[in-house]
Amino acid sequence: MTSRRDFFKLAGVAGGAVAAASVSRVAMAALPEPVIQTSPDTMAPLVPNSGRPYNPVVTLNGWTLPWRMNQGVKEFHLVAEPVVREMAPGFKAHLWGYNGQSPGPTLEVVEGDRVRIFVTNKLPEHTSIHWHGQRLPNGMDGVAGLNQPAIQPGKTFVYEFVARRPGTFMYHPHADEMTQMAMGMMGFWVTHPKVKNPLIDEVQRDFCFLLNAFDIDPGSYTPKIMTMLDFNLWSWNSRIFPGIDSLNVRLNDKVRIRIGNLTMTNHPIHLHGHEFLVTGTDGGPTPKSTRWYEVTTDVAVGQMRQVEFLADEEGDWAFHCHKSHHTMNAMGHNLPTLIGVDHRGLSKKINNLIPDYMVMGERGMADMTEMEMPIPDNTAPMMTGEGPFGSVEMGGMFSVLKVRRDQKPGDYKDPGWFKHPEGTVAHEYEGPLSEPARFKAEGGQSMPRAQTPSQPTEVKVRKPQSHSGH
C-alpha cells in the first residue's frame, strides 16, 4: 500500500483524497488522474462544479468520486486494487476495493449524461465491472466472457454509455465474482433526475450505503472468501458498529436513504421513531399507489431499496438490521447456552487449569459488554458501543439517526448525544410493588396432546444478583 501511496499525490479533493503522481501521468496521459481516498470517514457531499447540477448524496463512511468533463462526456477513473479498510476503530481488514477504499467511491451522474469510466486493474487477477441495474449497450454490461474479455492485471478498460434512467444502482465485478465480492469489491451509483420527476421528491438529506458481509477469522485480516452463509461481520459500506457514522439530520428534513444488498442473505432494515415509504428499487421509482408506510423494509439479496421519511421526531433513533445476529460482531455461532447454569464450585476448579477463565453466559450474553477482557488481536468485540446511558451492546449493521432542531442545513456534523427534555426518559419506578395476580388461561389448546410428558415442565428463575461473584 505504502509504495502505491507514494505513487499518488494529494489532490485535496473530496476531503483528503489523493490524485495520481506525475510519473503515472505520462503513462496514462489520456486518462483522468485516479483519485484515491485514504480516510474511511463519511465525506461531505460533492457539490457538482461541472456538468448538469444535482443535489448530491452522502455516502455513509464513503465518498463520491470526482470526475472531469471531456467534450461533454463525464469521465471517471476507477482503480481496482488491494486496500486496507478500517472496518471499526482498531480493526482493519485486508480487502480489495477501488481507489483506496472498499467499497469504492460513489459515482453520481445525471439522467442523460454520457459517462465514460476508465477501469484500471491493479489486482493480481483479472476483473470486470458490471453496472447493476443500468440500461446500457450489451457490450458495456461487464460480464467477463459474455459481454467482454476480462480486464487483465495492469490493463485499463473503458466503459461508455448514457445514464438513461434516474435511480439507485450499484457496481461490482462480474469476473471471479464470488472472490472479488467477498473481498469487498463494490460501489454505489446514483443517477439523479434531469428534470422534476413526479415520482422523485426533493429531499434535504440523501444518504446511501451498501450492505456487505465478511468472514474474517478473529486475529486475522483477510476475509475467508469461501464462506457462504456463516459470516461473522455484517457491515454497511465495509464498516461495522461502532465504526458506522450516524445519520445526522435537521428536524423536519425530508430524508432519503438508499440501500443496496450485496450480501448472501436478506436484511430487514429497521428505523426507530419514524415511518418511511419505499420510494424506489433498482427498477426505479415505485408507483405512488404501491407505497405504504412501514418501519422495516426487507432488502433482499442483490436488491436496492430507497426509503423516504420526514425526520420530525427529535432524538437519537436506532437504525439497524432487524436480524439480531447481524447486530453483533465476530462471535461463535456454536456456543452452548449457559443461562441458568450454576457455576458455584466449578470456576475454581477450572481456574486451576485455566487461570484466566471467567464465567460468561450464566446470566445471558450481556456479560460480554461488562467484562473488559482481552480478545484476539484485530478483532472487534461482539457487542459494544458506549451510549449516553451505558453500553448499546450492538455490533455489525447498526447506526443512529440523529434528528436535531439546531442542525444547520447541509451540515452533516455529528451533534453529539441528544439532550432529552425533562421527564422524557424512562426511569426506575420507586413506588410500592404488589405481587401480580397470575392470569389463568381460559381457553385450552386447539387439540389435546396425545402423549403427555412424564414430568411437568418447571421453569426456575434465578433472582437478579450482584456481579461481584464473577
Partner 1 sequence: MRRTLQSSGARLAISAVTLAVLSGCASVSLEQNVSRVNDEASSFTEKKLALSRTEQERKERADAAQALLTQPLGQREAVQLALVNSPSLQALLAQGWAESADAAQIGRIANPIFSYERMVAGDELEIGRALSFGLLDLLTLPTRQGISRYRIEQSQLRLTSEVVDQVTQVRQAWVRAVAAQQTLRYARQVYESAEATSEIARRMQAAGNFSRISRAREQAFYADAATRLATANHQATATREELVRRLGLDEAQAPLLKLPERLPDLPKQAMDPQTAGSYATRNRLDIRLAQTNFEAYAKSQGLTTVTSLTDIELTARRNTKTDSATGSRSDPRGYEIGVRLPIFDWGGMQRDAMSARTLAAANQLEATIRAAGSSLRESYSGYRTAYDVARHHRDEVVPLRKVISDENQLRYNGMIIGVFELLADARDQVNTVIAAINTEQQFWLADAALQASLIGRPTSTTLSAAAPPSGAAAAGH
**Footprint (CB under 5 A) of Cu ion, residues 306-335:** 321, 323, 326
Q: Is 349 in the site for partner 1 (CB under 8 A)?
A: yes
Given 65, 360, 392, 403, the residue binding partner 1 (CB under 8 A):
360
Of the candidates 8, 118, 35, 43, the one whose C-alpha atom is nearest the C-alpha of residue 74 is 118
Given 4, 331, 391, 470, the residue binding partner 1 (CB under 8 A):
331
Options 36-44, 153-161, 283-291, 339-347: segment touching partner 1 (CB under 8 A): 339-347
Given 107, 368, 392, 403, the residue binding partner 1 (CB under 8 A):
368
Cβ–Cβ under 8 Å, residues 246 and 42: no
Cβ-based nearer residue to Cu ion, 256 or 267? 267
Cβ-based nearer residue to partner 1, 246 or 379? 379
Backbone φ, ψ for residue 368 (5° rounding): -55, -40
Q: How far is the CB of 318 from partner 1 (least distance, A)?
A: 22
- 323: partner contacted, choices Cu ion, partner 1, none (Cβ within 5-8 A by kind): Cu ion
Q: How far is the CB of 341 from partner 1 (least distance, A)?
A: 5
Which uninterrupted H or E stretch holds 178? helix 177-182
Cβ-based nearer residue to Cu ion, 294 or 370? 294
The site map against partner 1 for 171-210 (x = CB under 8 A) is ----------------------------------------
**Span between the terminal Cα atoms of the chain, in Å:** 45
How many Cα neighbours within 13 Å face the side chain of 117? 28
| Cα–Cα dist 288/277, whole Å | 10
- Paired sense of beta strands 205-214 and 233-236, if any: antiparallel
Q: Is 73 in the site for partner 1 (CB under 8 A)?
A: no
Q: Is 352 in the site for partner 1 (CB under 8 A)?
A: yes
Of the candidates 401, 88, 84, the one whose C-alpha atom is nearest the C-alpha of residue 241 is 88
Query: 294 has which bridge partners?
Result: 276
Residue type at 352? N
The DSSP letter of residue 464 is P
How many Cα neighbours within 13 Å face the side chain of 61? 26
Q: How far is the CB of 420 from partner 1 (least distance, A)?
A: 32
- 69: partner contacted, choices partner 1, Cu ion, none (Cβ within 5-8 A by kind): none
Q: Environment class of residue 154 by beta-carbon count within 10 Å: exposed (0-12), middle (13-18) or buried (19+)?
A: exposed
The DSSP letter of residue 250 is E
Q: How far is the CB of 407 from partner 1 (least distance, A)?
A: 37
| Cα–Cα dist 359/468, whole Å | 12
Q: How far is the CB of 354 from partner 1 (least distance, A)?
A: 5
Given 202, 356, 428, 430, the residue binding partner 1 (CB under 8 A):
356
- 376: partner contacted, choices Cu ion, partner 1, none (Cβ within 5-8 A by kind): partner 1
Options 67-75, 177-185, 233-241, 364-372: segment touching partner 1 (CB under 8 A): 364-372
Given 26, 354, 437, 450, the residue binding partner 1 (CB under 8 A):
354
Instruction: Give Dmax (Cα) for the chain.
Output: 84
Q: How far is the CB of 342 from partner 1 (least distance, A)?
A: 6
DSSP secondary structure letters along 284-331: EEPPGGG---BSEEEE-TT-EEEEEEEE-S-EEEEEEESSGGGG--S-
Cβ-based nearer residue to partner 1, 413 or 463? 463
**Helix or strand or coil: residue 177?**
helix
| Cα–Cα dist 365/164, whole Å | 50
Q: Is 221 in the site for partner 1 (CB under 8 A)?
A: no
Q: How far is the CB of 454 from partner 1 (least distance, A)?
A: 13
Given 74, 85, 267, 363, the residue binding Cu ion (CB under 5 A):
267
Taking the alpha carbons of 164, 207, 258, 39 in that order, is the dihedral positive or negative? positive
Q: Environment class of residue 195 by beta-carbon count within 10 Å: exposed (0-12), middle (13-18) or buried (19+)?
A: exposed
Q: Is 172 in the site for Cu ion (CB under 5 A)?
A: no
Cβ neighbours around 454 below 10 Å, total: 5
**Helix or strand or coil: residue 202?**
coil
- 354: partner contacted, choices Cu ion, partner 1, none (Cβ within 5-8 A by kind): partner 1
Given 72, 198, 287, 332, the residue binding partner 1 (CB under 8 A):
332
**Helix or strand or coil: residue 397?**
coil
| Cα–Cα dist 41/60, whole Å | 8
- 321: partner contacted, choices partner 1, Cu ion, none (Cβ within 5-8 A by kind): Cu ion
- 326: partner contacted, choices Cu ion, partner 1, none (Cβ within 5-8 A by kind): Cu ion
| Cα–Cα dist 360/335, whole Å | 11
Q: How far is the CB of 359 from partner 1 (least distance, A)?
A: 8
Q: Is 219 in the site for partner 1 (CB under 8 A)?
A: yes
Of the candidates 43, 61, 84, the one whose C-alpha atom is nearest the C-alpha of residue 242 is 61
Q: How far is the CB of 467 from partner 1 (least distance, A)?
A: 16
User: Which residues of the chain form contacts with Cu ion (CB under 5 A)?
Assistant: 267, 321, 323, 326
User: Which residues of the chain form contacts with partner 1 (CB under 8 A)?
Assistant: 218-219, 330-332, 334-343, 346, 349-350, 352-354, 356-358, 360-361, 365, 368, 371, 373-376, 379, 381-382, 460
